[in-house]
Amino acid sequence: EFYGKGAPYNALVGKDSTRGVAKMSLDPADLTHDITGLSEEELKSLDDIFNNVYKAKYPIVGYTSRRILNEDGSPNLDFKPEDQPHFNIKDEF
């Protein structure tokens, strides 16, 4: 209803939209993982939204390719879900 094709938050689907969530923005320029230059208030909002909305409401089903693949597309052999920020491996299963 919210994330499907044509739905209000569809722009967030399938990408790391961290900046957009922090800024409460659906501007395509903000739909990125880059948090450079965010204010302390935006970073706090991001943590609050992640922990109290996304993590509380939705199961973790995967990671964006930026985390699990190298820039050349090869697998990132150093990727470990348990090392990812905000996650405990038990939260994922």
Q: Among 23-27, 58-62, 85-89, name the most confident range.
A: 23-27
Q: Which of 19, 15, 12, 91 is nearest to 51 (CA)?
A: 91
Report d(CA 43, CA 51) in Å as an integer: 12
pLDDT in tens, 29-77: 999 888 999 999 999 999 999 889 888 888 777 766 666 777 787 888 8
pLDDT of residue 45: 93
Residue 93 has pLDDT above 50, yes or no: no
pLDDT of residue 80: 76
Q: Which of 20, 18, 63, 19 is nearest to 8 (CA)?
A: 20
